């Protein structure tokens, strides 16, 4: 019984790894936007980019530039845009679903578990706004 308790306790404290895969689907008409699955392949430490403030002053005097934040080791998978010249394109959506499903199935076969999904949209705000994206973040763990 004690051995089972130790095994259970050890499994609770086992280190867990997380990974986020982001799906960006453009809602810009006529194929002018860029839609992608973006998978970060780099290992980084958020503390390298973190400063602390006390009394309005930074304790870490190192200046962090935008170029310091960029990660070059990414995998981009092309997707189709939601809109074509005639409006919403359901074939494009179905094609994207097939590609995204393939990515998720590959992650699952690599030992990852899909633990959470969140999404948001910045949609077209009228005739003067030709911009917009639908973004989905897939959170995996193992």
pLDDT in tens, 11-52: 565 689 999 999 999 877 766 778 999 999 888 888 887 877
pLDDT in tens, 106-139: 999 999 999 999 999 887 666 666 677 889 999 9
**Residue 76 CB contacts under 8 Å (≥ 6 apart), including other chains:** 36, 37, 38, 39
Tell how strand 74-79 and strand 35-40 pair up: antiparallel
- Give the pLDDT of residue 4: 53
- Structure pTM? 0.77
Alpha-carbon span 2 to 112, nearest angstrom: 31
């Amino acid at each position: 019984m004690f051995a089972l308790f130790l095994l259970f306790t050890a499994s609770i404290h086992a280190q867990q790894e997380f990974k986020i895969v982001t799906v960006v689907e453009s809602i810009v008409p006529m194929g002018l936007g860029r839609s992608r699955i973006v998978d970060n392949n780099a290992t980084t430490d958020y503390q390298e980019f973190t400063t602390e403030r006390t009394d309005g002053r930074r304790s870490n005097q190192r200046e962090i530039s935008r170029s310091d934040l960029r990660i070059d080791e990414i995998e981009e998978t092309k997707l189709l845009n939601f809109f074509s010249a005639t409006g919403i394109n359901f074939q494009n959506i179905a094609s994207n679903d097939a590609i995204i499903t393939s990515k998720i199935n590959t992650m699952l076969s690599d030992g990852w578990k899909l633990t959470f999904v969140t999404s948001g949209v910045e949609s077209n705000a009228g005739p003067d706004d030709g911009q917009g994206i639908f973004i989905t973040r897939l959170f995996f763990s193992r």
